[in-house]
Amino acid sequence: MPSNFRFPPRFLWGAATSAYQIEGSPLADGAGPSIWHRFVRTPGLVKDGDTGDVACDHYQRMAADVALMKSLGLTAYRFSIAWARVMPEGRGRVNEGGLGFYERLVDTLLENGIEPMATLYHWDLPAALDDRGGWLNPDVADWFADYASVMYRRLDDRVKLWATLNEPWVVTDGGYLHGALAPGHRNRFEAPIASHQLLRSHGKAVQAYRAHGKHQVGLVVNIEPKYPATNAPEDLAATRRADAYMNRQYLDPVFLGHYPDEMHEIFGEAWPEWPAEDFDLIKQPIDFLGINWYTRNVVRHDAQQWPLQAVPVRQPLSTYTETGWEVYPQGLTDTLTWARDRYGPIPQYVTENGAAFFDPPVAQGGRVRDPLRVDYFQKHLKAVHAAIGQGVDVRGYFAWSLMDNLEWSLGYSKRFGIVHVNFATLERTPKDSARYYAQVIASHGGVLDEAL
C-alpha cells in the first residue's frame, strides 16, 4: 500500500547519546577529569548525588550496545567524544588509550552498517582547561581546534558527519548564567563572553576541518520556538527577546555574521562590543545544521523575570512531559521551515528529539509500555515529514535518547531512553517506543500511516 509518509531514500534513522551521560569509567585508560566529573562531586548540585561514574557502563558494553542499535535497525548513531579522554589536560599530549575507544566504536558501527555522527563537544570540558578559565579564555578557540584536528586526522577516513558543539545556548545559560550545569557559574558578565568564545571555537574548528577533513561539518543547536501569549506590544517584545536569546543568538552570527539587536536590550552593560574580525571567523560556511528539538514556549511579558523580562505561559489543554515541557509537534515543523527561510537551504538534521515520561518498571516478559513516548515520536516524525513536504532538506532524524541515562543535574530521575536501563543491573530492555521506532525504520516511515 502506498504510504502518505515517504521519506527521502537516503534519510538517516538514528538515535543520539552523549559521552558523559552514558559511558561511565570517566578516568579509565588515562583519561583526565572533566568539569562534569567535578560538578557531580560538589554536594547538592546533582539530584540524589548521582554521578556519571558508572552511568550506562557503555564504555565497557559498547559492542553489545551497537548490537542493540543494529537489532532496532538504526542506520545512524550520534555520539559525542569526551575531550578529556583524548587529551587529559585538554591540550598538548594525546592519550591513545582514550582515543582508541572512539576508534573501536566507529569501527563497530561501520561493521554493523550504522553511519556515525560525531559531536566534538557535548558539555564535558577537560577540568584542566576550566582551571585556565574554560570558555571564558579566548585561547579556548585554539585549544578546541587543536583537539578537533586530532580527531579529524584520526577518524575522518571513517566519520563523514562531524558536529562541533552541542547546544552552545545550554552551555552558556546553564553553565555561566544560571549555574544549573557545569561549571556552575552565575554571572551575567560571563555569559556573553562564554557565548562568544564558544562561537569563535566553533569557527576555528570548522576552519580546521577544511584543512584536515573531506566530508561534512556542522553545528548543533537547540531551538525552542517562541509564540506570543497575546498580541499586546509588550508580549510581542518579550517573545522577540526570548527568541533572540535562545534561538538567534548562535545562528545569526554563524549564518549572518552578527548578533541579534535584542542582545544589548537583554544584557545591558554586560553585553560587550566584539571586534568585527571575530565575525569573519564565526561565519565559516558549514555543511549542515543540526537541530535539537523538544518543546515550544508561549511567552508573555513579566518585568520580574531577569534577564528576559519574559515568562512561559502554561497551556491548559496541552500534554506536558516529566521535565515540564509542552508537547507541541507543530513547533518542530515550524522550526525546520523557519531555519530554512531565515538561513537558507542548508541540509538539516534533527539531531535530538524525544521526551522524558514516567516509565513503569520492566514488566514480566521484558516489555516496557511507554505509550506517551510512542505517541510523542509518532507525532514528531509526522512533523518532520511535513517540513520535508514543504521543501526543507531534512536528511535524518535522531531520537533522544538511545537509552535512559544521566540527565545532567536531574541525575537518573528522568528517563528519555527508547531503551530502558535498569541502573542496578545495567540490563537494557527496548521499550515499546523502541519497537515502534524499529517499525518506522523498517517501513521507511510507512507505518506512520497507521493509528496507534
- Give the residue numbers marked as catalytic: 167, 352
352 binds ligand BGC (CB under 6 A): yes
Between 170 and 421, whose beta carbon lies closer to ligand BGC? 170
DSSP state, 360? P
Q: For residue 70, give the 3-state DSSP assignment.
A: helix
State the minimum distance, in angstroms, from the CB of residue 350 to ligand BGC.
12
Total chain residues near ligand BGC (CB under 6 A): 11
Between 355 and 383, whose beta carbon lies closer to ligand BGC? 355
User: Binding residue for ligand BGC (CB under 6 A) from 14, 18, 154, 176?
Assistant: 18
Close Cβ partners of 229 (under 8 Å, ≥ 6 residues apart)? 235, 298, 299, 300, 313
Between 180 and 237, whose beta carbon lies closer to ligand BGC? 180
Between 167 and 252, whose beta carbon lies closer to ligand BGC? 167
DSSP state, 131? T
State the minimum distance, in angstroms, from the CB of residue 212 to ligand BGC.
26
170 binds ligand BGC (CB under 6 A): yes
Between 359 and 407, whose beta carbon lies closer to ligand BGC? 407
Phi and psi angles of residue 418, each rounded to the nearest 5 degrees, phi first: -90, -15
Q: Are 155 and 215 in contact (CB under 8 A)?
A: no
The stretch near ligand BGC (CB under 6 A) out of 162-170, 249-257, 265-273, 420-428 is 162-170
295 binds ligand BGC (CB under 6 A): no
Cα–Cα separations (whole angstroms), residue 200 to 77, 78, 120, 193: 27, 23, 15, 11
User: Binding residue for ligand BGC (CB under 6 A) from 34, 149, 222, 433?
Assistant: 222
How far apart are the C-alpha atoms of 348 and 289, rounded to whole Å? 5
Grid cell listed for 419: 531503551
124 binds ligand BGC (CB under 6 A): no
Q: In this structure, is the dihedral angle defined by the CA atoms of residues 258, 262, 265 and 267, taken in order, positive or negative?
A: negative
416 binds ligand BGC (CB under 6 A): yes
The stretch near ligand BGC (CB under 6 A) out of 106-114, 164-172, 241-249, 304-312 is 164-172
Q: Are 331 and 296 in contact (CB under 8 A)?
A: yes
Between 166 and 249, whose beta carbon lies closer to ligand BGC? 166
Between 18 and 297, whose beta carbon lies closer to ligand BGC? 18
Between 167 and 359, whose beta carbon lies closer to ligand BGC? 167
The stretch near ligand BGC (CB under 6 A) out of 89-97, 107-115, 166-174, 441-449 is 166-174
E-strand stretches of 135-275: 161-166, 216-222, 226-228
How far apart are the C-alpha atoms of 152 and 179, rounded to whole Å? 32
State the minimum distance, in angstroms, from the CB of residue 428 to ligand BGC.
18
State the minimum distance, in angstroms, from the CB of residue 451 to ligand BGC.
28
Q: Are 5 and 442 in contact (CB under 8 A)?
A: no
Strand partners, 222: 292
81 binds ligand BGC (CB under 6 A): no
Phi and psi angles of residue 228, each rounded to the nearest 5 degrees, phi first: -75, 140
The stretch near ligand BGC (CB under 6 A) out of 32-40, 66-74, 165-173, 386-394 is 165-173
Phi and psi angles of residue 219, each rounded to the nearest 5 degrees, phi first: -125, 145
297 binds ligand BGC (CB under 6 A): no
250 binds ligand BGC (CB under 6 A): no
State the minimum distance, in angstroms, from the CB of residue 446 to ligand BGC.
29
407 binds ligand BGC (CB under 6 A): yes
State the minimum distance, in angstroms, from the CB of residue 170 to ligand BGC.
5
State the minimum distance, in angstroms, from the CB of residue 99 to ligand BGC.
22
DSSP state, 368? B
Q: How big is the chain, counted in residues?
A: 452
36 binds ligand BGC (CB under 6 A): no
User: Binding residue for ligand BGC (CB under 6 A) from 57, 115, 124, 167?
Assistant: 167
How far apart are the C-alpha atoms of 94 and 92, rounded to whole Å? 7
147 binds ligand BGC (CB under 6 A): no
- Buried-exposed string 108-131: b where 16+ CB fall within 10 A, e elsewhere: bbeeeebbbbbbbbbbbbbbbbbe
Going by their DSSP bridges, the two strands 76-80 and 115-121 should be labelled as: parallel
247 binds ligand BGC (CB under 6 A): no
How many other CB atoms are found less than 10 A from the CB of residue 42?
Answer: 11
Grid cell listed for 278: 571575530
Strand partners, 350: 291, 397
**Residue ranges that bind ligand BGC, judged by CB under 6 A:** 18, 21, 166-167, 170, 222, 292, 352, 400, 407, 416
